[in-house]
Chains A and B, each alone.
Chain A
Amino acid sequence: MKHLSIRCAIGALFLGCGVSHAAELSVSVTNLTQGMYFTPVLAIAHDDSNSLFEVGETASAALQEMAEGGSLAGLAAIGDAIVADYANTEGLTAPGTTQTLMLSTADSNTVLSMVGMILPTNDGFIGLDNWPIPTEAGTYTLYLNAYDAGTEVNDEIRGGGAPGTPGMPVPPPLEDLVGNGGSGVTAVETNTTVHIHRGNLGDSDMVGGSSDINLMTQRWLNPIARVTVVVN
């Protein structure tokens, strides 16, 4: 960022400038799938001593709330507590579409994290964990994987989105795309830590079978999302 560099050069004479990190970011998230949806995606800049999630560790209650039902309330509260800068996309990000948000970050908030629930899944989410925000102006492209929060059994049948409520939330746009009457793909979740999602199984029976997920259309391979960050 040219403007900042000049300020840095002057500031360095008096204060030292290595820590100056404030940035104006444009963050775009593209749903790379043809059949999965993302709930509102949180983009949050924070200091690198914090983390929204860690693979191999148990999800926080706030992360669970996001991964099982798409709610960002708990994560926003944490964001406020740690004086993070955050914003989120609105509504669902449909297959093949892109949403863009703007984010102004404070000096101390040097890393970017992003999360959003993947529908239809039980507790799948797209994740970016503590990506160092570049100090150089430019356009940066990142590819995100799908994670499993490890907090809910992947039974792949209709249910609720509240933490601890089994089954998948099915908001209106997905009402006709998700089946009914599945008996449940599994009743156990052996790995209860955050891990890479194993993908949906699904079945071809919209009114029964084991899964309410459509095996032809509601699967994915990683990466599941593309993020383009423009550092101004």
Chain B
Amino acid sequence: MQFLTLHGVWRVTLAAVVVSTLAACSDDDPAQPTPTPPPAATPVSYEITLTNLSHEQPLSPVAVVLHSEGSVWGVGEPASEALEVLAEGGDNSDVLALPMVLANASGAGVIGPGMTESITVTINDVDDALLSVVTMLVNTNDGFTGLNGWSTASLAVGDSWQTMLPVYDAGTEGNTEAAGTIPGPADGSGDSPGYLSERDDVDFVAYHRGVVSADDGLPGSVLSSVHRFDNPVVRLTVTRVE
């Protein structure tokens, strides 16, 4: 926590001033500053609970990150490489390792439609971090959902906050819905590489327009009506547990 850090520095500085004043007043017996023992770390934990509201869009293992600044994406801005990796292939490791991340946690696995998972993330001595949560809708080309840099500062221990999440499109892969381009089970080919570094779409993040599916007339789509979705796609609850 920046405030605590500043406060700590200020206290030390003040102590130094007092010590030097004392030293100036005393004769030859220099005051021995008592080193302040480092305060015990205070863990701050949040439980993040996601419920998958879609009909048939499993969610990839969730990335939960706490950071002091920045965001994981911005509407109208190109996706980071880390977000592209998650949004195209469902691999959360690069988002978890973003340089700005102070603490992270990964979901245990895929969250199926109608299923709920709770994930706990813990950080020491910081109670106003920004929280981001990201997960892919795996039966899409590059659709994802999540929470982007939400300030946890308002949450006291025991408080909860709930929101509903829309679906975003990373804009890094054309929404062809074709065999070999979708990592989820709807792609029967079983050989989708998921992430490809090539960007063949608009190259900016925005809200997702929905999948079309073969049932609605997209030639070559491996998706059917069951894979369609609407906003919101996830109910998310954040509870500060310590």
Contact = CB atoms under 8 A, between A and B. Distances in A.
A219 B202 contact: no
A32 B75 CA distance: 7
A34 interface: yes
A223 B217 contact: no
Contacts, number: 66
Interface stretch (A94-102, A111-119, A155-163): A94-102
* Consensus secondary structure, chain B interface: loop
A95 B217 CA distance: 24
Contacts of A226: 75
A30 B209 contact: no
A215 B216 contact: yes
B111 interface: no
Given A33-B209, A204-B218, A204-B219, A222 B202 contact: no
Contacts of A199: 210
A35 B207 contact: no
A34 B171 CA distance: 8
Interface residues of A, number: 24
B52 interface: no
Given A32-B75, A34-B204, A96-B204, A216 B230 contact: no
A199 B212 CA distance: 12
B76 A97 contact: yes
B104 interface: no
A221 interface: yes
Nearest to B76: A96
Contact of B166 (A31, A217, A223): A223
Name the interface size band of chain B: 20 to 34
Contacts of A68: none
Interface string B162-187: 00001101010011100000000000
Interface string A203-232: 110000000000111011111101000000
A199 B206 CA distance: 17
B217 A34 contact: no
A34 B219 contact: no
A221 B208 contact: yes
B231 interface: yes
Nearest to B167: A221
Contacts of A35: 202, 209
A199 B208 CA distance: 13
A12 B202 CA distance: 54
B206 A219 contact: no
B218 A221 contact: no
Given A204-B217, A221-B207, A215 B76 contact: no
B206 A216 contact: no
Given A96-B76, A98-B76, A216-B218, 17 more contacts: A30-B75, A32-B75, A32-B207, A34-B171, A34-B201, A34-B202, A34-B209, A96-B202, A96-B206, A97-B76, A199-B210, A204-B217, A216-B174, A216-B212, A220-B207, A220-B209, A223-B231
